[in-house]
Amino acid sequence: MNRFFDNRNVLGLIFMLPAAALLLVFLTYPLALGTWLGFTDARIGRAGHWIGLENFSMLVQDSVARLSLFNTLFYTVVASTIKFALGLWLALLLNRNLPFKSFFRAIVLLPFIVPTALSAIAFWWIYDAQFSVVSWALERMGLIHRYIDFLGDPWNARLSTIAANIWRGVPFVAICLLAGLQTIPPSLYEAAALDGATPWQRFRHVTLPLLTPIIAVVMTFSVLFTFTDFQLIYVLTRGGPLNATHLMATLSFQRAIPGGNLGEGAALATLMIPFLLAAILFSYFGLQRRKWQQGARD
């Protein structure tokens, strides 16, 4: 009996059990259930029957679902790109020897700490058709004559929600990249300076390549978070106006819970998986190459 417990593999298995159980109950089971629901005609209060790909073929022809796919891609691509650019810029700034360095770092983290729902409500006020502080300020400066309808016009609404998402997402990117920047030894920059590199060449040939592995990880997470965003949209626009800001996540919820069509909502949510997988694989292979490139033996 004692020998049995002394075995490394047995012991390993025993220690893994709690984690495995948690994963099974809270990750695998919901994922499997959701996917399975997508192949049924389940409604709230009624168990569904297997209907094969019917939900999916319906969704493919559904113009609102197609619009939500476009919205999601647009939202993800634009917001992630800008988050990356802004985050990198901020990280580079914060990596310098600024006075009050830790104070600025704390400030940058602020949007990340505030609960999304709360910051979404703040944005709701900022974007309000009548009380918007932005419109008010712009009008005072004489730049506009009518208040901007931030959330009432489809394109305005798309851009406004993207702006809110960026505000919320930049700190994560900036702080992670800052952590990455701080792993680059200063002597590399000094060596590059002596080798004749201009500040831009130092960024291009030292900072960027050494930061790539972290960029890959951070941007994968950033893309995943953005692609699956729900709270911001739900508080700000509920998908409106005219479904212009419906993301796949919000539409899926809309169809499943208020709409009662569990099967259809689940199918839409399932359709997100291939995109997410693609993003993960992209960064995984990107990372692999970097690892090899840096010749890590250890």
Partner 1 sequence: MASVHIRNVHKYFGGTHVIRGVDIDIADGEFAVLVGPSGCGKSTLLRMVAGLEEISGGEIEIGGRVVNAIPPKERDIAMVFQNYALYPHMKVRDNMAFSLLLAKRPRSEIDSRVAKAASILGLGELLDRYPRQLSGGQRQRVAMGRAIVRDPQVFLFDEPLSNLDAKLRVAMRTEIKELHQRLKTTSVYVTHDQIEAMTMADQIVVMRDGVVEQRGKPLELYDHPANLFVAGFIGSPAMNFLPAKLRRAGDRAEVELADGARVPVPRDAAGEDGLPVIFGARPEHLSLAGAESGLAAEVVVVEPTGADTQVFAKIGGTDVTAVFRERHEFRAGEPIRLAPDHERTHLFDAASGKSLRT
> Which of 102, 187 has the CB closer to partner 1?
187
Specify whether the backbone of 153 is left (phi greater than 0), alpha (psi in -120 to 50) or beta: beta
Count the Cβ atoms, other than its own, within 10 Å of residue 127: 25
**Nearest-angstrom CA–CA distance, 248 and 254:** 10
Stretch of residues binding partner 1 (CB under 8 A), selected from 52-60, 126-134, 151-159, 191-199: 191-199
**Nearest-angstrom CA–CA distance, 217 and 189:** 24
- The minimum distance between CB 218 and partner 1, in angstroms, equals 18
> Which of 6, 298 has the CB closer to partner 1?
298
- The minimum distance between CB 215 and partner 1, in angstroms, equals 13
**Nearest-angstrom CA–CA distance, 91 and 94:** 5
Helix (H, G, I), strand (E, B) or coil at 6: helix
Say if residues 175 and 104 touch (Cβ distance below 8 Å): no
Residue 287 near partner 1 by CB under 8 A: no
- The minimum distance between CB 211 and partner 1, in angstroms, equals 10
* Among the listed residues 32, 109, 190, 288, the single contact to partner 1 using CB under 8 A: 190
Restricted to residues 59-78, the positions that interact with partner 1 (CB under 8 A) are none
Restricted to residues 197-256, the positions that interact with partner 1 (CB under 8 A) are 197, 201, 205-206, 209-210
- The minimum distance between CB 237 and partner 1, in angstroms, equals 44
Residue in the structure block whose two tokens are 């030894």: 185
> Which of 212, 231 has the CB closer to partner 1?
212
Stretch of residues binding partner 1 (CB under 8 A), selected from 30-38, 78-86, 190-198, 237-245: 190-198
- Cα separation values, 138 from 122, 131, 144, 252, 258, Å: 18, 13, 6, 37, 38
* Among the listed residues 27, 110, 191, 273, the single contact to partner 1 using CB under 8 A: 191
Say if residues 202 and 192 touch (Cβ distance below 8 Å): yes
Residue 100 near partner 1 by CB under 8 A: no
Query: Per this entry, what is the length of the chain?
Result: 298
Residue 192 near partner 1 by CB under 8 A: yes
| Residue numbers at the binding site for partner 1 (CB under 8 A) | 185, 187-188, 190-197, 201, 205-206, 209-210, 293-298
